[in-house]
Amino acid sequence: MTGYDKRKQRKRDQILSAAEELFKKQGFKKTTIDDVANRAGVSKVTVYNHFTDKRGLIEASVREMMQSKIEGYREILVSDRPWQERLNEIVLDKFRTVRDYSGEILGTLYYEMPDLMDEIKNLKLKLENEVTYSFLDEGRKLGFVPMDISNEAVAIFLACIARGLESNDDVLMRLSAQPKLAEELISIITYGMIQRP
């Protein structure tokens, strides 16, 4: 990579970092290209040189964030830390992500950017096939995941929980304000409500 390419990449990263910060704080709709340029310390023209319009900036920001999250989850899942600690960290991070974007990220993806949503689903499927199912199998061997519950059932269950949280801002606010409540919910997700004999 030439010096010019490195500088260009640094500017792009600066813009994406500023955009992600503002999208979290103000949401996609309220954030303007002027806001992003000011936060990144670049001109509006520079933003447009890297991203053709606001939609392109949102797509690039979401794509980068999701790829980073998925790679982060991969690192957590394959680490040698205790199994339950790894699970808790991922669930808590998912809560935080949904809370930070107040569900707007999903509405935008589902209704305005279906191609990007498909791309993210494919990344998640790849993660499931490469790492998540091995993680669940490890949980079975350790006695955390019952032997008679399939990976598919666990994946559906977790997807239902995530969608329920994503669509309920009140619950997300309560979970972020009450860490103990978030821990209790993680415990229910991990162990269920009814103790097995």
Domain boundaries in the chain? 1-51, 64-191
Provide the percentage of residues in the chain whose pLDDT is more than 70.
90
pLDDT (average), residues 15-31: 90
pLDDT (average), residues 44-73: 90
pLDDT (average), residues 50-60: 92
pLDDT at residue 132 is higher than 90: no
**pLDDT attached to residue 103:** 58
Give whole-number Cα distances, 12 to 19, 43, 52, 83, 106, in Å: 10, 12, 13, 37, 24
pLDDT at residue 197 is higher than 50: no
**pLDDT attached to residue 26:** 86
| Interatomic CA distance for residues 133 and 89, integer angstroms | 17
Q: Sorting pLDDT into bands at 50, 70 and 90, what band is 32?
A: very high
| Interatomic CA distance for residues 124 and 159, integer angstroms | 11
| Interatomic CA distance for residues 141 and 66, integer angstroms | 30
**pLDDT attached to residue 182:** 75
pLDDT at residue 175 is higher than 80: no
pLDDT at residue 183 is higher than 80: no
pTM, two decimals, is: 0.73
**pLDDT attached to residue 56:** 92
pLDDT single digits (tens) 103-125? 566 667 767 788 887 887 888 78
pLDDT at residue 102 is higher than 60: no
Q: Sorting pLDDT into bands at 50, 70 and 90, what band is 60?
A: very high
| Interatomic CA distance for residues 7 and 18, integer angstroms | 17
What does CATH list as the number for 1-51? 1.10.10.60
Give whole-number Cα distances, 31 to 17, 57, 112, 115, 176, in Å: 13, 11, 16, 22, 23
pLDDT (average), residues 120-133: 82
Exposed/middle/buried for residue 92 (C-beta within 10 Å: 0-12, 13-18, 19+):
middle
| Interatomic CA distance for residues 85 and 183, integer angstroms | 12
**pLDDT attached to residue 96:** 74
